[in-house]
Amino acid sequence: MSGLSRTDRDGVAWLALDRPDRRNALTIDLLRDLRATLVSIQDDPAVRVVVLSGAGEAFCAGADLKEFGPAPHPGQRLARLRLVAQVLSQIRELEQPTIAAVNGPALGAGWGLALACDLCFAVSGATFCLPEVAKGYRLPSVLVHRLSQVVGPVRAAEIMLGAATYDTEQAVTFGWVSRVLPDRQTLTEQTWRFAVELAARARPALAAAIQPLRRDPTREPSPPAEYAWIEE
């Protein structure tokens, strides 16, 4: 089993990273399964909202460093990095709004999954860290861009280069978490409630509202196409 579970209810697809014994660390198989699931969700008219969470006490500990043994081949790490980048991009490109329900530590690519979502709710006590650069590993560019989009390039540089651990109070202050809930049960209940409320709305309206927020202004034509002057 790859370690991914899915629950569908009232227009919401709840995806849970389900490797609690490994703190939901990301393997090649799990990333491939997540990628395939996101493709199927994109084309599923019954799904209006997507939630991503973790099983157990962690959201995601990042890449599973034990997957390839004590001396991984550089090609193996690169393949996993590419898969992470693909999954993060797929989350950003979904037509449906996405919510991360961060039920515990979110590290490395795990934090990237949460950042890729449109909204992030977190349990009190959750922590966030990007340790890759300090350990000599690469970060996928889509994660770097998304972090910069959320917190600004200067603070993003400090977060990536400094490899510090951030708590939920800092997460709210810096802008990547919008709600902090007191415990995991409350996090699950409130995330379900909010997601179902959103799913009751028309999917085209949800898509039209969320898509402009995902755009990279530096890559937009000037002016954006929808505001281009039309000569009569």
Residues recognised as catalytic: 132
Q: Are 145 and 85 in contact (CB under 8 A)?
A: no
3-class secondary-structure state, position 93: helix
- HSE toward the beta carbon, residue 8, CA cutoff 13 A: 9
Nearest by Cα to 49 from 181, 185, 200? 200
Lay out the sheet containing 128-129: strands in order across.
106-107, 128-129, 165-166
Q: Quick one: DSSP state of residue 105?
A: -
Exposure string over 48-66, b if 16+ CB within 10 A, otherwise e = bbbbbbbbbebbbbbbbee
Nearest by Cα to 52 from 34, 65, 28? 34
Q: Alpha-carbon distance 103 to 176, whole Å?
A: 15
